Structure 1
């Protein structure tokens, strides 16, 4: 019986201990919640008092501002270059209209639009049956004239016959030869050939159409003597001149070259207020007529400018400004901006080029705000 009594006693003590621990835990939790409520109330009272005091005491407000975590960027004293970027097109000085040289009906048009051809390649044929018949007839007459001339020449060499008979036979033969050569030239002109290597832009006749000498048949663009033409705003008149350096990029072939302005137009287009600029294009095998280009033309350069990232410049009713970092505080500096290219902006007044600018976090700070520079 004694072991049983001892077990019951231990069990009773354990239950009493557990009950006491449970009551103590509940008490501590209640006490914690009460303290948290008191802390929230105290923090609210502190914040309210700080705001009230800050309105009455500016020095207190400055001393108790929360420090803002930022990164910085360095203003630079360096060369600033501005470019004009415009779209241009590759053109050819050998952009010609190929016309018919003889009258007749078109019997063959092997050329099609966009087709690349070589010099002398047949583009179209015009019916020349009547010319061919005339050639056949002349060749028959010429053969007879040659025979008569040869016989007359032999007789003349033997001092037989008159000189007039000899000269008449010779003249007839030579006249027929010239007429035959002329007809063969006309026959050759009935075949329209490519004047040089290039591309067929447009086909202006159809099979079976009747053409006359001078009738446009093809618009033909050569592959050599290429140049670039672009329309530039009239606001750049006087800025661009022949010989100026130009950077030209070809987006379709991912290629960039350096070249020069070869001609500047003197007439303003009244429709879009632009003038023409022609840029020299060296021989490049991948470049084709009508290819799109992007021209980057330098129109301004300052070898000693203060340059800052353009996105850091803000504006208010007074003007443009940036935030600099001085002795752990953000300072509002008003500036006069110059030209901008991409994200680089020239500063004409307000900065010396040695300042640290507020970069990340520049929209969260104000004048005299306490700042902390993050490690980068």
Structure 2
């Protein structure tokens, strides 16, 4: 069926009306949404400004509206706390000597070198002793003649021939030459310098061909036995240390440790550095050498039931020292009295019981009564 031409404009108008209505409605809703967003932003800005003003005016409101801070925790602990005095000491030897010349002469031979380990009796140097050797030859010849004359005079004296004076003079001359010969031979022995005990040549202080005199130092010689450790301790520890106290000793260069005892405590304060000397017994150990550096740990304080916290968690303000504990989702500021500190741990004398949970990571970002959120570890 064909529609009449007069209905066609009406149909077109109706279609146009229905097709425009959805577009207008969509635009209106978008405009409404944009207006609400603008109003929300304005409200949020106003709320933030008002909260900021209230937080400045009312601390309680500030703590209640504080955002949670992400933290980790650690526990205070209760147990034995030991405090040690740590000082640096040096390994020394009671057989640390300077070997000196005992006779004069020119050095003919030095068969040893610095750092060489030698046994007792080893020849360290030889001094020219030609004059002494010639003197010994002359004395031996004179003694031989004197002995012959004495023996003849003695036979005559036994036969009551001759005088007593002649006999005594012959005897005195012989005995005098014997003493001179013994002395010369001793001087000859002194021309050969030998190691007095087993040890190490620390320093050679003379050169080949050098002229030496009695008392002149030739070698710095250190024995390998009778070693001990010497350290300087602050005078503030007088009365804390005594002979027989236990000491932990470590040698950083060779990574060795041992347990030993204090063998001697000095009775004099050094006025230059306000310290006194302590000697520690050192048993024979492989690789330990004189002048080696050691670290001494001397126990000076012990508590069997102490509250212990990591030292870095303790903060300070005008009132004193404090830590942050975690209670009911909040960081609580606890003032404490600290004791001694050793090995990154501190003893707490008052303020904690040892059962508290402490703020660890994030402890510098929190404040008293701040909300906290504990991170999963």
- Superposed, 1:356-371 pairs within 5 Å as 356-371=357-372
Quote the residue 1:299 is aligned against.
Answer: 300
| Residues 1:290 and 2:320 aligned together | no
**Following the alignment from structure 2 to structure 1, what is the Cα–Cα distance between the partners of residues 53 and 336?**
34
> RMSD of aligned C-alpha atoms?
3.6
**Following the alignment from structure 2 to structure 1, what is the Cα–Cα distance between the partners of residues 56 and 139?**
117
Quote the residue 1:44 is aligned against.
Answer: 45
Per-residue deviation, 1:340: 0.8
- Superposed, 1:294-333 pairs within 5 Å as 294-333=295-334
Q: Deviations over 1:321-341 (max 9, x none)?
A: 111111111111111111111
Per-residue deviation, 1:96: 1.5
- Superposed, 1:97-112 pairs within 5 Å as 97-112=98-113
Task: Give secondary structure in 1 for the equivalent of 2:370.
Answer: coil
Does 75-84 or 42-51 show the bigger shift?
A: 42-51
Does 30-39 or 279-288 show the bigger shift?
A: 30-39
Per-residue deviation, 1:198: 1.5
| Residues 1:131 and 2:115 aligned together | no
**Following the alignment from structure 1 to structure 2, what is the Cα–Cα distance between the partners of residues 314 and 73?**
16
Q: CA, structure 1 residues 32+224, in 2 after alignment: closer, same or farther (shift >3 Å)?
A: farther
Quote the residue 2:66 is aligned against.
Answer: 65
Does 119-128 or 134-143 show the bigger shift?
A: 134-143
**Following the alignment from structure 2 to structure 1, what is the Cα–Cα distance between the partners of residues 204 and 58?**
86
Task: Give secondary structure in 2 for the equivalent of 1:370.
Answer: strand
Quote the residue 2:281 is aligned against.
Answer: 280
Q: CA, structure 1 residues 44+182, in 2 after alignment: closer, same or farther (shift >3 Å)?
A: same
Q: CA, structure 1 residues 35+371, in 2 after alignment: closer, same or farther (shift >3 Å)?
A: farther
Q: Any stretches of 5+ residues in structure 1 without a counterpart?
A: 1-22
Task: Give secondary structure in 2 for the equivalent of 1:224.
Answer: coil
Per-residue deviation, 1:75: 1.0
**Following the alignment from structure 2 to structure 1, what is the Cα–Cα distance between the partners of residues 72 and 174?**
100
Per-residue deviation, 1:349: 1.1
Task: Give secondary structure in 1 for the equivalent of 2:209.
Answer: coil
Quote the residue 1:338 is aligned against.
Answer: 339
Per-residue deviation, 1:55: 4.5
Q: Deviations over 1:337-368 (max 9, x none)?
A: 11111211111111111111111111111111
Q: Any stretches of 5+ residues in structure 2 without a counterpart?
A: 1-22
**Following the alignment from structure 1 to structure 2, what is the Cα–Cα distance between the partners of residues 40 and 163?**
148
Quote the residue 2:88 is aligned against.
Answer: 87
- Superposed, 1:1-376 pairs within 5 Å as 34=34, 38=38, 40-55=41-56, 58-138=59-139, 180-376=181-377
Q: Deviations over 1:18-37 (max 9, x none)?
A: xxxxx99xx89x97995897
Per-residue deviation, 1:127: 1.0
Task: Give secondary structure in 2 for the equivalent of 1:239.
Answer: coil
Q: CA, structure 1 residues 55+118, in 2 after alignment: closer, same or farther (shift >3 Å)?
A: same
Per-residue deviation, 1:144: 7.7
Task: Give secondary structure in 1 for the equivalent of 2:131.
Answer: helix
**Following the alignment from structure 2 to structure 1, what is the Cα–Cα distance between the partners of residues 177 and 353?**
92
Q: CA, structure 1 residues 64+100, in 2 after alignment: closer, same or farther (shift >3 Å)?
A: same
Aligned residues: 343
Per-residue deviation, 1:370: 1.0
Quote the residue 2:9 is aligned against.
Answer: none
**Following the alignment from structure 1 to structure 2, what is the Cα–Cα distance between the partners of residues 36 and 287?**
84
Q: TM-score, normalised by structure 1?
A: 0.80
Quote the residue 1:13 is aligned against.
Answer: none
Q: CA, structure 1 residues 309+173, in 2 after alignment: closer, same or farther (shift >3 Å)?
A: same
**Following the alignment from structure 1 to structure 2, what is the Cα–Cα distance between the partners of residues 360 and 366?**
13
Q: Deviations over 1:19-67 (max 9, x none)?
A: xxxx99xx89x97995897355443233223223444555543332211
Does 97-106 or 49-58 show the bigger shift?
A: 49-58
